[in-house]
Chains A and B, each alone.
Chain A
Amino acid sequence: MRQNQNNKLKGPNLMASIDWFTILIYMMLLAMGWMSVCGASYDLDQGGSIVDFSTRSGMQIVWIGTSLLLGALILMTDDRLIEALSYIIYIGFLVLLAATPFLAHDIKGSMSWIKIGTFSIQPAEFAKFGTALCIAKVMSSYGFNLSRCKDFVISVALIVVPMVLIVLQRETGSALVYSAFFLMLYREGMPGCVLFAGIAAVVYFVIGVRYSEVALLGISQMTLGQTLVLMHIQLFTIGLIWVYTKNKAIGWQILGWGTLASSVAMLFARFIFPCNMMWVLQGVSGATVLYLLYRSIRDNVVRYFYIAMFTIGSLAFFYSANFVLNNVMEPHQQTRIRVLLGLEDDPRGAGYNVIQAKIAIGSGGLRGKGFLNGTQTKLKYVPEQDTDFIFCTVGEEEGFVGCAVVLLLFLALILRLIHLAERQPYAFGRIYGYCVMSVFLFHVFINVGMVLGLTPVIGIPLPFFSYGGSSLWGFTILLFVFLRIDAGRNRMKR
């Protein structure tokens, strides 16, 4: 009788508890991904079959098949076992990551690939899952409180250690993916202002460096980068005032006077006397800070003070970052940062990659050119056309309709993951779920964004689309471990 009951609970219940909706999205993304790899790797010289295992599209079938097998295997294991092994898995990956640069062979300057037989694997793709498991385990442990400084530092350290190890493999792009875990930290109680400050810092830095050499109105001291960053600081400040204080009028005042002063100064510099406008913009920022401080004392509202601090901090960060970049860093270090932002490593001059990507996508039109009919990707106008720039093939062959379907599938996956994470009875499952969701969101954000010319060119794969076993296996494991944890959510009732 007990045996019977156990069967009832374990057998049918497992199948019923699995979130088939997520698996359906997963399968659809795999199918579209395979079509894209076919399109991108189709060799016009050889023609031949797309299922031939000597071709990349044929090999991708192998990777997809093994991924499905891997997913099924994970679903058949016990989630409690996975949870119990979290630390071991994490430490194992740290050791592997540390050893990788010594075992790896150089592929285009990256030391992240280990050769096993005829295949190469990239441990960094799998370490995301280990890190997510470990951080979920630590943060769900009894008495853990993110608002306590020590605990916060521990969780950040868990993220930063693998990041550093991956940077040492010269895979900065993959390392940056780990910053996605801060989204999870935000959900788990990290103050929103930390996340906001972090994002603001990234925006200042990226914009500042990216447009640092574009002179505005032909005045050399006045760069587009600096102007844009100062404008962003001003807008962020106004945004904070609107969100966190009841007095909307102050925001309008600052916006109005700032815009007026800047415009007048801009017109003066343009038509009357070319002068360095930066002083005016900086003056506007300074005046805003002074005004906020004044209001905080007069109205006795401490939030004005915090916002003023944010503005000061922003200016300080931007100018110190600029100073460090230009005066402290060695030229080769500067180059590294510029490479990361997609400003260098551009074999044919400024923006060739992004321009070709845009041409490929733009030429797709509404319905695309049809399966295997794309020309730009096949003829190798688009760089890395079957890995990092795979989305170009979707754009070219499947058109706007195909792109929208793919993006909406990813959105559905991410929203579904949020929903699944929130329904977890334990913090472990929820935290792990948010890690998974954050990783997917980061990959889609950066990869599609760079193809569309909206984010810096950071070489990370598009999940389930980019060719390669390591990334496909890595994402599959990441996702299916969560599905297994989710399938066990009802155990509490037993």
Chain B
Amino acid sequence: MAVDYELEKRKYVLGGVAILIILIYLIRLFTLQLLSDDFKRNADSNAFLKRIQYPARGIITDRNGALLVYNQPAYDVMVIMNEQLGVDTVDLCQSLNITREWYERRMAEIKDLHRNPGYSRFTQQLFMSQLSTEEFSRFQEKLFRFPGFYIQKRSIRQYRLPHAAHILGDVGEVDPDELANDEDKYYQSGDYIGKLGVERSYEKELRGEKGMEILLRDARGRIKGHYQNGKFDLAPVPGRNLKLSIDIKLQALGERLMKGKLGSIVAIEPATGEVLCMVSSPTFDPNMMVGRQRGKSHRLLSQDPHKPLLNRAIMGQYPPGSTFKTSQALTFLQEGVITPGTAYPCTHGFHNRGLTVGCHGHGSPLPLIPAIATSCNGYFCWGLYYMFGNRKKYATVQDAMTTWKDYMVSMGFGYKLGIDLPGEKRGMIPNAPYYDKAYRGDWSGLTVISISIGQGEVNLTPLQIANLGATIANRGYYIIPHIVKEVQGQPLDTMYTNKHYTKVERKNYEYVVQGMRQAVLGGTCHTANTSMYEICGKTGTAQNPHGQDHSVFMGFAPRENPKIAICVYVENGTWGATYGVPIGALMMEQYINGSLSESSQQKASAFEHKYLFTPTVYNATESE
């Protein structure tokens, strides 16, 4: 057999072709598999359906464990248009207890791209929202007969009582701003987030952590189980429950007493800084903010001229009036301007170089304790006058002013106290540069004399006034007021357990306490006096250039081991004794005794119906 060597060389051509092909394919594989991540991402988005599992939001109770906010399961019926063909409509309508007309109208609505811009035949569309548990279980049994219909579980927030709306706040769908500011990228559009109150300030604790199921989805969109049997799934972490420091009975009474009045009541447990009640009037039923009616309710409330959405307890900045005199007495004592025995004259007021600050009739001259008890304007004006005029101690009036301001700040004024609620305001304590600017450096103690009686530039929030009461009750320190007593499984922030001492010694506080006790025994607050426990108090009648004076009361009880410190602030309530004192007394009785006596009940009913304005009545169950 002749071997054709010329032809045999062709084996190299054929072998070469084979090598070339494999080489080209290896290069191609290299570029596909090693040079680009796109395919991997594509593959993941193909195959993995990451389904978020929502944790249960923490529930909220009051200081005694009474349930305030809880979750109610609600069930939405969803429909995928592409899959629901051939469903027995009559059967469906019966099972959902709807009429044929409703069904047809709803289906038309879903398909209407104007009303439902996100419509797609292939995705779940909301057919019927918020089925009750009974409706749900009835429908669930028959669900298999309705292909294309699904049930989506959601949870909605429910408020058991119509109280404490400002404290509890509400939840709503996360808005674009919140999404933009969400550094952890936790929220997705459509998620719920706390909007106001503790729902907002304790959002992280309440919400828990979302879980994630990684499901495998085949080419037809069918779910084929968990990826790697759920090895990479993340279980949701339920939210933590909150126990508020609020006593809901006290809160309810406060809201009742404040009906028809603008203002606020704040009560604090002095020893712990726990806020026992925080009433802001007018208020509203928190159930108005649940579910689909939230938007409408919010709009309605924000249009109300009496601003029910405003939490006056921490956002209202008012002149404290005579309640502020206690802080002045403490400052003068500590600075040595006065001793308890120092007496100043008051002849129907303070008169100096043509300046007059009026006062009501009482004995003159008088020392500190009766001055507090009778709320003498002159006494405190003289005190400030001597302090600011003391050039031996303070080189300039500015120095005196700075010293004074430091005392005020140490008592919690002029800055936000740091309560665990959103939106707190800082009030106003003027300082030397402020007056330098206002009077171009030409001012003296006389110029600013009205700050000594809680007027002029001084503004406090009701919370700050109540905190002043707590500080006096503690004889010299306060704990930052806070609304949450316990977070489940987590210690309270040390911010809410540390004591803040003022610049005034304890012994000086005792004189002020005596003065406040005298005020109740025989002074401005005598209507509050009771034999049950020793109340200490101080009225205020804050001058209001825009209308009637505001009625203020600050006090605490019992005198020893105080349980409650309170501030009542009734806008346009005229004398402190008119509204502030009696309301404060009722609140104290409610908290200390746990209930009101018969006569007090009558008094409370009387106050409930004393309207300073006609409140708008909102109906929480009003449907969309």
B43 touching A187, Cβ below 8 Å = no
| Smallest beta-carbon distance A198→chain B, Å | 13
Extra 16 A-B pairs, beta carbons < 8 Å, given A362-B39, A400-B34, A444-B21: A186-B13, A189-B4, A358-B39, A361-B33, A361-B39, A362-B40, A362-B43, A363-B44, A365-B40, A373-B228, A379-B218, A407-B25, A414-B18, A427-B1, A445-B21, A452-B29
B14 interface hit (Cβ, 8 Å): yes
| Smallest beta-carbon distance A99→chain B, Å | 35
Q: In whole angstroms, how far apart are the Cα atoms of A177 and B248 in the complex?
A: 86
Residues of the B chain whose Cβ atoms lie less than 8 Å from the Cβ of A187: 7, 10-11, 14
A24 interface hit (Cβ, 8 Å): no
CB<8 Å pairs between A and B, sample of 15: A44-B225, A187-B14, A189-B7, A358-B32, A362-B32, A375-B216, A380-B218, A381-B218, A395-B33, A396-B43, A407-B29, A411-B19, A421-B11, A425-B1, A444-B22
B434 interface hit (Cβ, 8 Å): no
B8 interface hit (Cβ, 8 Å): yes
Residues of the A chain whose Cβ atoms lie less than 8 Å from the Cβ of B38: 362
Instruction: Report which residue of B14, B15, B44, B218 has the largest number of chain A beta carbons within 10 angstroms of its beta carbon.
Output: B14
Q: In whole angstroms, how far apart are the Cα atoms of A80 and B7 in the complex?
A: 26
Residues of the B chain whose Cβ atoms lie less than 8 Å from the Cβ of A418: 11, 14-15, 18
Contact with A along B524-550 (1 / 0, CB 8 A): 000000000000000000000000000
Contact status of A415 and B1, CB under 8 A, knowing A395-B29, A452-B25:
no
**Interface SS of A by simple majority:** helix
B599 interface hit (Cβ, 8 Å): no
B26 interface hit (Cβ, 8 Å): yes
| Smallest beta-carbon distance B229→chain A, Å | 9
A375 touching B48, Cβ below 8 Å = yes
Residues of the B chain whose Cβ atoms lie less than 8 Å from the Cβ of A324: none
Q: In whole angstroms, how far apart are the Cα atoms of A418 and B220 in the complex?
A: 45
Q: In whole angstroms, how far apart are the Cα atoms of A44 and B228 in the complex?
A: 10
| Smallest beta-carbon distance B161→chain A, Å | 50
Interface size on B, residues (CB 8 A): 42
A454 touching B14, Cβ below 8 Å = no
A344 interface hit (Cβ, 8 Å): no
B33 touching A399, Cβ below 8 Å = yes
A363 touching B42, Cβ below 8 Å = yes
B19 touching A186, Cβ below 8 Å = no
B217 interface hit (Cβ, 8 Å): yes
Contact status of A408 and B22, CB under 8 A, knowing A45-B225, A188-B7:
yes
| Smallest beta-carbon distance B24→chain A, Å | 7
| Smallest beta-carbon distance B418→chain A, Å | 51
Q: In whole angstroms, how far apart are the Cα atoms of A360 and B43 in the complex?
A: 7
| Smallest beta-carbon distance A167→chain B, Å | 25
Contact with B along A435-452 (1 / 0, CB 8 A): 001000100110011001
Residues of the A chain whose Cβ atoms lie less than 8 Å from the Cβ of B39: 358-359, 361-363
Interface residues of B in 219-250 (CB under 8 A from A): 219-220, 224-225, 227-228
Seen from chain A, the residues whose Cβ lies within 8 Å of a Cβ on chain B are 44-45, 183, 186-189, 192, 356, 358-366, 373, 375-376, 378-381, 395-396, 399-400, 403-404, 407-408, 410-411, 414-415, 418, 421-422, 425-427, 434, 437, 441, 444-445, 448-449, 452, 454
B611 interface hit (Cβ, 8 Å): no
Interface residues of B in 482-510 (CB under 8 A from A): none
Partner of B14, one of A186, A378, A411, A449: A186
**Interface SS of B by simple majority:** helix
A186 touching B10, Cβ below 8 Å = yes
| Smallest beta-carbon distance A28→chain B, Å | 16
Partner of B47, one of A361, A376, A415: A376
A441 touching B219, Cβ below 8 Å = no
Interface residues of B in 26-68 (CB under 8 A from A): 26, 28-30, 32-34, 36, 38-40, 42-44, 46-48
Residues of the A chain whose Cβ atoms lie less than 8 Å from the Cβ of B218: 44, 379-381
Q: In whole angstroms, how far apart are the Cα atoms of A399 and B19 in the complex?
A: 21
| Closest A residue to B31 using CB positions | A362
B216 touching A411, Cβ below 8 Å = no
A363 touching B40, Cβ below 8 Å = yes
Q: In whole angstroms, how far apart are the Cα atoms of A427 and B3 in the complex?
A: 10
Residues of the B chain whose Cβ atoms lie less than 8 Å from the Cβ of A188: 7
Q: In whole angstroms, how far apart are the Cα atoms of A285 and B30 in the complex?
A: 36
Q: In whole angstroms, how far apart are the Cα atoms of A449 and B218 in the complex?
A: 25
A449 touching B25, Cβ below 8 Å = yes
Residues of the B chain whose Cβ atoms lie less than 8 Å from the Cβ of A375: 43, 46-48, 216, 227
Partner of A381, one of B21, B29, B40, B47: B47
Q: In whole angstroms, how far apart are the Cα atoms of A410 and B22 in the complex?
A: 9
| Smallest beta-carbon distance A456→chain B, Å | 15
Residues of the A chain whose Cβ atoms lie less than 8 Å from the Cβ of B228: 373
Residues of the B chain whose Cβ atoms lie less than 8 Å from the Cβ of A359: 39, 42-43, 46
Partner of A400, one of B4, B33, B227: B33
Residues of the A chain whose Cβ atoms lie less than 8 Å from the Cβ of B36: 362
| Closest B residue to A146 using CB positions | B7
Q: In whole angstroms, how far apart are the Cα atoms of A33 and B273 in the complex?
A: 74
Contact status of A400 and B30, CB under 8 A, knowing A44-B225, A375-B48, A408-B22:
yes
| Smallest beta-carbon distance B245→chain A, Å | 52
Residues of the B chain whose Cβ atoms lie less than 8 Å from the Cβ of A400: 29-30, 33-34
| Closest B residue to A375 using CB positions | B47
Residues of the A chain whose Cβ atoms lie less than 8 Å from the Cβ of B32: 358, 361-362, 395, 452
Q: In whole angstroms, how far apart are the Cα atoms of A260 and B569 in the complex?
A: 92
Q: In whole angstroms, how far apart are the Cα atoms of A407 and B21 in the complex?
A: 10
Contact status of A366 and B33, CB under 8 A, knowing A359-B42, A418-B14:
yes
| Closest B residue to A401 using CB positions | B33
Instruction: Report which residue of A188, A189, A381 has the largest number of chain B beta carbons within 10 angstroms of its beta carbon.
Output: A381
B219 touching A380, Cβ below 8 Å = yes
| Closest A residue to B45 using CB positions | A359
Q: In whole angstroms, how far apart are the Cα atoms of A188 and B11 in the complex?
A: 10
Q: In whole angstroms, how far apart are the Cα atoms of A407 and B11 in the complex?
A: 20
Instruction: Report which residue of B4, B28, B32, B219 has the largest number of chain A beta carbons within 10 angstroms of its beta carbon.
Output: B32
| Closest B residue to A189 using CB positions | B7
| Closest A residue to B48 using CB positions | A375
Instruction: Report which residue of B15, B34, B227 has the largest number of chain A beta carbons within 10 angstroms of its beta carbon.
Output: B15
Q: In whole angstroms, how far apart are the Cα atoms of A362 and B39 in the complex?
A: 5
Residues of the A chain whose Cβ atoms lie less than 8 Å from the Cβ of B48: 375
| Smallest beta-carbon distance B118→chain A, Å | 24
Residues of the A chain whose Cβ atoms lie less than 8 Å from the Cβ of B13: 186, 192
Q: In whole angstroms, how far apart are the Cα atoms of A400 and B34 in the complex?
A: 8
Q: In whole angstroms, how far apart are the Cα atoms of A211 and B18 in the complex?
A: 27
| Smallest beta-carbon distance B467→chain A, Å | 61
Residues of the A chain whose Cβ atoms lie less than 8 Å from the Cβ of B220: 380
A404 touching B29, Cβ below 8 Å = yes
A183 touching B14, Cβ below 8 Å = yes
Instruction: Report which residue of B8, B21, B30, B34 has the largest number of chain A beta carbons within 10 angstroms of its beta carbon.
Output: B21
Q: In whole angstroms, how far apart are the Cα atoms of A445 and B7 in the complex?
A: 24
Residues of the B chain whose Cβ atoms lie less than 8 Å from the Cβ of A381: 46-47, 218-219
Q: Which 4 pairs of residues, A with B, have the shortest CB-CB distance?
A: A362-B39, A363-B43, A375-B47, A379-B218
